[in-house]
């Protein structure tokens, strides 16, 4: 009788194995890995898979004789789940490239495995600037944004307009610490001062106590070095406790259109932040957003979706030029050699350390009266040219960059 249970297990395991053993010779297999159901599901999630498929379609891969397949998985924001999937994808499922991967801790794990297996990792979702810094590899391209670019864009703009003294609400994990560190450096370099910071347990729901501490600090600017639900809750509660009426301003360091949607314009109005892409900036973007919205239940694309699209197009271009996707490092080298150009990010380049260079935008959230249509949330205040938007090559400590 126990033998039966044994059979059941074996059968289950065997079935699983068989479902897994697909050959993919001659197929470019793109694996979109992100948070399909958790905190960041709306930032990339299922929409990210759609964006990758859309890129394959728009590139005309089939007409050019490239056989491309897109698969996806949910890493649940856990490094162990993510690395497990990555190994399986590379070893068993013959995936050639992993795209997206929000959540810095997971991205760092994927970065490592991708190098070990000599495949390609195109990061659109992750924030940590370490991917093009100490952790950079010849197999990784970091596409859309990073903590340094956000800190630099928002921090500098605010200090320049008179926000000299800062207090941070920092999510107590690696990403929050990095964001605080980078913003602090920018603020201080531009003549501002940081009065203090409070580390908030992650994830949190009640920020009122920390906001009160921020208020007591009398800083002009309260910097929110957090993301997702933490940011939404802290902004909401700041408005409730009359922090903004009291004369202090909030600065969300990492924000997405979906966060504004969750907050409502009434609460979010007047916030400044930095983004790599906005759907209502030009006709190409609007067309993409229209298709996206139709396919994703009325949601609108974020910069992460656009970044996935753009990165996949450039990857396919490099593979087509090489006529092979076998050697990950070679593909990435080709990506660095060729200029990138697509309808969403325009012309750009991939730098030696794996950083994709493009303009960033400083945006402001509209007042409710200014919003004319659904998801009409942002005004672009300033374009930050690519050369200034990202961390200078020499400051990153990337081992790939030769010290001169």
> By CB under 8 A, which span of 60-68, 139-147, 166-174, 284-292 interacts with another protein?
166-174
Smaller CB separation from another protein, 12 or 326: 12
Q: Which of 17, 60, 339, 374 binds another protein (CB under 8 A)?
A: 17
Nearest approach, Cβ of 113 to another protein (angstroms)?
Answer: 9
Least Å from the CB of residue 304 to another protein: 13
Q: Is 16 in the site for another protein (CB under 8 A)?
A: yes
Residue 206 contacts another protein per CB under 8 A: yes
- Which of these, 379, 324, 320, 389, lies nearest to 143 by C-alpha position? 389
Nearer to another protein by Cβ, of 243 and 386: the residue is 243
Q: Is 329 exposed, middle or buried (0-12, 13-18, 19+ CB in 10 A)?
A: middle
- What angle is formed at CA 194 by the lines to CA 246 and CA 394, rounded to 5 degrees? 135
Kind of pairing, strands 340-342 and 249-252?
unpaired
399 binds another protein (CB under 8 A): no
Tell me the site size for another protein, rule CB under 8 A.
83
9 binds another protein (CB under 8 A): yes
Spatial distance between the Cα atoms of 107 and 102, rounded to a whole number of angstroms: 7
What separation in angstroms does the CA of 13 have from each of 17, 86, 110, 114? Answer: 6, 19, 26, 26
Does 203 bind another protein (CB under 8 A)? Our answer is yes
Which CB atom, from 46 or from 396, has the smaller least distance to another protein? Answer: 46
Show contacts with another protein in window 44-103 (CB under 8 A): 46, 71-74, 78-81, 83-85, 87-88, 91-92
User: Among 58, 172, 359, 364, which residue sits at the site for another protein (rule: CB under 8 A)?
Assistant: 172
Minimum distance of another protein from residue 37's CB (angstroms): 4
Shortest reach from residue 399's CB to another protein, in Å: 14
Q: Which pair of structure tokens corresponds to residue 114?
A: 């991708």
Using CB under 8 A, pick the residue from 154, 237, 274, 310 that binds another protein.
Answer: 237
Long-range CB contacts for residues 322-330, cutoff 8 Å, separation at least 24: 325/28, 325/96, 325/97, 325/120, 327/118, 328/96, 328/97, 328/114, 328/117, 328/118, 328/119, 328/120, 328/139, 329/118, 329/138, 329/139
Residue 400, judged by CB atoms within 10 A of its CB (0-12, 13-18, 19+), counts as middle
Least Cβ distance, residue 35 to another protein (angstroms): 9
Nearer to another protein, 164 or 177 (CB): 177
Asked if 369 is part of the footprint of another protein (rule: CB under 8 A), the reply reads no
Minimum Å distance from CB 336 to another protein?
24
- 196 makes contact with another protein (CB under 8 A): no
User: Shortest CA distance to 281 belongs to which of 376, 177, 168?
Assistant: 376
Residue 23: exposure state from Cβ atoms within 10 A (0-12, 13-18, ≥19): exposed
Examine residue 388 and tell whether it contacts another protein (CB under 8 A): no
Q: Among 59, 166, 167, 210, indicate the residue that binds another protein (CB under 8 A).
A: 210
Residue of 242, 184, 188 lying closest to 211 (CA atoms): 242
Smallest gap from Cβ 104 to another protein, in A, equals 7
12 touches another protein (CB under 8 A): yes
Closest to another protein by CB, 14 or 326: 14
Integer Cα distance of 147 and 175 in angstroms? 8
Taking CB under 8 A as the criterion, the residue among 167, 175, 277, 292 binding another protein is 175
Exactly one of 94, 117, 164, 199 binds another protein (CB under 8 A); that residue is 199
By the rule CB under 8 A, 131 interacts with another protein: no
Q: Are 204 and 230 in contact (CB under 8 A)?
A: yes
């Amino acid at each position: 009788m126990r033998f039966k249970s044994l059979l059941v297990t074996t059968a289950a395991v065997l079935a699983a194995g068989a479902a897994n053993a697909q050959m993919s010779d001659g197929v470019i297999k793109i694996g979109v890995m992100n948070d399909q159901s958790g905190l960041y599901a709306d930032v990339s999630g299922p929409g990210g898979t759609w964006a990758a498929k859309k890129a394959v379609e728009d590139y005309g891969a089939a007409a050019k004789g490239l056989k491309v397949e897109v698969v996806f998985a949910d890493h649940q924001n856990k490094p162990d789940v993510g690395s497990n999937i990555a190994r399986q994808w590379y070893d068993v499922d013959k995936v050639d490239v992993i795209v997206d991967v929000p959540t810095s801790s997971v991205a760092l794990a994927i970065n490592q495995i991708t190098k070990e297996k000599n495949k390609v990792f195109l990061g659109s979702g992750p924030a940590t600037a370490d991917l093009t810094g100490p952790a950079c590899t010849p197999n990784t391209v970091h596409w859309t944004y990073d903590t340094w670019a956000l800190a630099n864009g928002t921090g500098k703009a605010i200090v320049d307009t008179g926000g000299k003294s800062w207090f941070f609400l920092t999510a107590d994990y690696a990403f929050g610490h990095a964001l605080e560190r980078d913003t602090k450096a920018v603020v201080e370099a531009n003549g501002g001062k940081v009065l203090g910071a409070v580390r908030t347990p992650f994830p949190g729901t009640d920020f009122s106590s920390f906001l009160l501490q921020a208020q007591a600090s009398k800083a002009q600017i309260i910097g929110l070095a957090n993301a997702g639900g933490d940011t939404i809750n802290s902004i909401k509660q700041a408005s409730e406790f009359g922090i903004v009426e009291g004369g202090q301003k909030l600065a969300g360091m990492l924000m997405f259109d979906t966060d504004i949607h969750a907050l409502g314009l009434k609460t979010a109005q007047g916030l400044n932040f930095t983004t790599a892409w906005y759907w209502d900036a030009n006709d190409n973007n609007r067309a993409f957003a229209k298709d996206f919205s139709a396919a994703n239940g009325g949601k609108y694309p974020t910069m992460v979706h656009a970044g996935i699209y753009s990165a996949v197009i450039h990857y396919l271009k490099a593979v087509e030029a090489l006529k092979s996707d076998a050697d990950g490092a070679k593909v990435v080298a080709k990506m660095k050699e060729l200029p990138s150009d697509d309808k969403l990010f325009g012309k750009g380049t991939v730098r030696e350390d794996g950083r994709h260079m493009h303009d960033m935008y400083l945006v402001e959230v509209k007042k409710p009266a200014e919003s004319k249509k659904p998801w009409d949330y942002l005004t672009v205040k300033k374009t930050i040219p690519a050369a200034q938007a990202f961390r200078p090559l020499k400051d990153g400590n990337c081992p790939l960059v030769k010290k001169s």
